[in-house]
Amino acid sequence: MSSIVVVGSFNVDHVWRCETLPVAGATVAGRYSSGPGGKGFNQAIAAARAGASTAFVCSLGSDAGGAMARELASQDGVTVVAESSNEPTGTGGIYVDSHGRNTIVIGPGANFTLSTGFIAAQQDLLAGAQVVLAQLESPLESIEAAITAAHAAGVTTILNPAPANAVASISLLRQSDILTPNETEFAGLLGRHVGHRMEADDVAALDGNTLHGLCRQLLPGGTVVITLGAVGAFVSHEDEQLRGDTQPYYRVAAESAQTVDTTGAGDAFNGALAASLAHAPQAAFNLHVRFANRFAARSTEREGAAASMPRLTPED
Q: Is residue 314 part of a domain?
A: no
- Residue 177: domain span: 4-22+30-308
Q: List residues forming the annotated binding site for K(+).
A: 261, 263, 299, 302, 304, 308
Catalytic residue among 201, 239, 267, 316: 267
Q: Is residue 316 part of a domain?
A: no
Q: How far is CA 175 from CA 15, 59, 153, 170, 211, in A?
A: 35, 23, 11, 9, 21
Q: List residues forming the annotated binding site for ATP.
A: 182, 227-232, 266-267, 293
pLDDT, residue 44, reads 98
Q: Are 14 and 34 in contact (CB under 8 A)?
A: yes
Say how many domains are in the chain: 1
pLDDT tens figures, 1-51:
679 999 999 999 898 999 999 988 989 999 999 989 899 999 999 999 999
Distance (Å, rounded) from C-alpha 58 to C-alpha 43?
A: 12
Three-state helix/strand/coil letters over the chain: CCCEEEECCCEEEEEEECCCCCCCCCCCCCEEEEEEECHHHHHHHHHHHCCCCEEEEEEEECCHHHHHHHHHHHHCCCEEEEEEECCCCEEEEEEECCCCCEEEEEECHHHHHCCHHHHHCCHHHHHCCCEEEECCCCCHHHHHHHHHHHHHCCCEEEECCCCCCCCCCHHHHHCCCEECCEHHHHHHHHHHHHCCCCCHHHCCCCCHHHHHHHHHHHCCCCEEEEECHHHCEEEECECCECCCCCCCEEEECCCCCCCCCCCCHHHHHHHHHHHHHHHCCCCCHHHHHHHHHHHHHHHCCCCCCHHHCCCCCCCC
pLDDT, residue 171, reads 94
Q: Is residue 53 part of a domain?
A: yes
Of residues 223, 218, 283, 273, the one with CA closest to residue 248: 223
Q: Is residue 60 part of a domain?
A: yes
pTM: 0.94
pLDDT, residue 305, reads 84
Asked if the model's pLDDT at residue 303 lies above 90, the reply is: no
Q: List residues forming the annotated binding site for substrate.
A: 11-13, 38-42, 137, 267
Question: Which residue type does 268 have?
Answer: A
Domain with residue 203: its CATH number is 3.40.1190.20
Look at 262 and 111; give whichever has higher pLDDT: 111
Q: Are 217 and 198 in contact (CB under 8 A)?
A: no
Mean pLDDT of the chain: 95
pLDDT tens figures, 194-210:
999 999 999 999 999 99
Task: Determine whether 267 is an active site residue.
Answer: yes
Q: How far is CA 102 from CA 114, 123, 283, in A?
A: 27, 37, 34
pLDDT, residue 1, reads 64
Q: List residues forming the annotated binding site.
A: 11-13, 38-42, 137, 182, 227-232, 261, 263, 266-267, 293, 299, 302, 304, 308
Q: Is residue 313 part of a domain?
A: no
Look at 290 and 263; give whichever has higher pLDDT: 290
pLDDT, residue 2, reads 78
Residues 6+ apart with CB under 8 A from 247: none
Polymer length of the chain: 316
Residue 234: pLDDT band (50, 70, 90) is: very high
pLDDT above 90 as % of the chain: 85
pLDDT above 70 as % of the chain: 100
Distance (Å, rounded) from C-alpha 133 to C-alpha 156?
A: 9
